[in-house]
Structure 1
Amino acid sequence: MAGARVIWAKKLPEVYGKLDEIDKVVADHLDGTLLELLKLRSSILNGCAFCVDLHTEKALKEGESRQRLFQVATWHEAGAIFTDAERAVLALTDEMTRMGEGGVSEEVYDAVAEHFSDEQVAALMAAIAMINLYNRLAVASHLRPRKH
Structure 2
Amino acid sequence: MTRMTVSEVAPEAYRAMSGLERFLHGSGLPQPTLHLVKLRASQINGCAYCVNMHSADAKKAGETDERLWSVAAWREAPFYTDAERAALALTEAATRLADRPDPVPDEIWNEAAKHYDEAELAALVVAIATINAWNRIAVTTHSRPGTRV
Contact 2:36 2:71 in 1 (8 A): yes
Distance (Å, rounded) in 2 between the aligned partners of 1:123 and 1:51 = 19
Aligned to 2:107: 107
Distance (Å, rounded) in 2 between the aligned partners of 1:4 and 1:31 = 33
SS in 2 for 1:76: coil
Aligned to 1:88: 86
Q: In structure 1, list runs of 5 or more residues that go unmatched.
A: none
**Aligned amino acid, residue 15 of structure 2:** G
* Sequence identity (%): 42
Aligned to 1:46: 45
Moved more, 31-40 or 96-105: 96-105
**Aligned amino acid, residue 62 of structure 1:** A
**Aligned amino acid, residue 31 of structure 1:** P
Aligned to 1:37: 36
Q: CA deviation at 1:108?
A: 0.6
Aligned to 1:60: 59
**Aligned amino acid, residue 52 of structure 2:** D
The aligned runs of 1:1-148 (5 Å cut-off) are: 4-29=2-27, 30-78=29-77, 80-100=78-98, 101-146=101-146
TM-score calculated relative to the size of structure 2: 0.92
Distance (Å, rounded) in 2 between the aligned partners of 1:33 and 1:85 = 11
Distance (Å, rounded) in 1 between the aligned partners of 2:14 and 2:139 = 16
Q: In structure 2, list runs of 5 or more residues that go unmatched.
A: none
Q: Deviations over 1:31-63 (max 9, x none)?
A: 111101100000000000000000001001111
Distance (Å, rounded) in 2 between the aligned partners of 1:32 and 1:52 = 16
Distance (Å, rounded) in 2 between the aligned partners of 1:136 and 1:35 = 18
**Aligned amino acid, residue 73 of structure 2:** T
Moved more, 41-50 or 101-110: 101-110
TM-score calculated relative to the size of structure 1: 0.92
Q: CA deviation at 1:12?
A: 0.6
Q: CA RMSD in A?
A: 1.4
Distance (Å, rounded) in 2 between the aligned partners of 1:14 and 1:83 = 38
Q: Which runs of 4+ in 1 moved over 6 A?
A: none
Contact 2:2 2:144 in 1 (8 A): no
